[in-house]
A and B are shown apart, each in its own frame.
Chain A
Amino acid sequence: MTATKSKSLPLAKRGLNFEMLMWIFTRLSALAMYALILFAIIGALIMGARTQMNMADVLRWGFMPNLSHVQNTNVPDIAPWSTPFWRAVASLLLLVATAHGVHGLVVICDDYIVKPRGRQIVRLISIVFMIAMIAIGLYVVWTL
């Protein structure tokens, strides 16, 4: 008997679909959020947050590296905190978190709403909602 041969099905045959793509997106986005948050926290510490901010403020910044999250702190110079770089990081986090969160809500709805029509409606609403949130979020991030 020959050794076990490895078996892999081509993509076209197994027809990978949206459901599973979103499933893996949820996990990968979770990891991405960890990475981004960690990145923002390290950034804050490098920028001097150790002495000028308390832990809660650092975390708040970490979860959304947005200028408004440092305005109430003792940081003397908030200019380095509002560079396009940090705005970009914040935007990325916003995109990832909104997609993750909205899809999460869709998943929850799927558990209870079964009729194809109902599911369509949920998906429609959530897409509109997601786009709106991203637009508003980006506006806030880039204009504040």
Chain B
Amino acid sequence: MALKRNVSLASALRYKGQGPMLTYILHRIGGVGMAVFVTVHILASFVGGKAGIFANSIYENWLFQIFIFFCVLFHAINGLRITISDLWPKLIQHQREAIWVEWAVFLPIYGIAVYVIIRAALGG
């Protein structure tokens, strides 16, 4: 009897892929995160009332803001990288550099945003 082929989440995450594997995971988290957020947001605006207020209180939570801003920003920047290299496959040979650039763009923006959010949270 052979062992099943199933790859557990733990062993999948233990695989030592490099930069691009990490960005792929984060991109996926970001995409799903946004999809869920957008859905809830639209529904909340639609329903209004108590549910709407409850939903809004979630958005205003600073932890949630840090998370959703991560989703949006990372997904957008990484999505742009993917789009560019997909439309011009020749650029794929520069993927290492592309990942560096991506982080170089993402980190400062995200860092400032987190700082602002936390400051607002502490201040408010």
A residues sitting closer than 8 Å to B (CB atoms) are 27, 30-31, 33-34, 55-56, 63, 68, 97-98, 101-102, 104-105, 108, 133, 136-137, 139-140, 144
Q: Does A27 contact B35, Cβ atoms closer than 8 Å?
A: no
Interface residues of chain A: helix, strand, loop or mixed (majority): helix
With A63-B72, A136-B46, A139-B46 as contacts: A101 and B35 at CB distance below 8 Å: yes
- A33 CA to B77 CA, complexed, in Å: 12
With A30-B79, A30-B83, A34-B80 as contacts: A102 and B42 at CB distance below 8 Å: no
Could you list some 6 contacts between A and B, CB below 8 A?
Answer: A30-B80, A34-B80, A101-B38, A102-B35, A108-B28, A140-B45
B residues sitting closer than 8 Å to A (CB atoms) are 28, 31-32, 34-35, 38-39, 42-43, 45-46, 72, 76, 79-80, 82-83, 86-87, 116
With A56-B116, A101-B34, A101-B38 as contacts: A27 and B87 at CB distance below 8 Å: yes
Which chain B residue lies CB-closest to A129? B39
Q: Does A136 contact B42, Cβ atoms closer than 8 Å?
A: yes
Q: Does A68 contact B42, Cβ atoms closer than 8 Å?
A: no
- A94 CA to B1 CA, complexed, in Å: 51
- A50 CA to B18 CA, complexed, in Å: 41
- A131 CA to B88 CA, complexed, in Å: 33
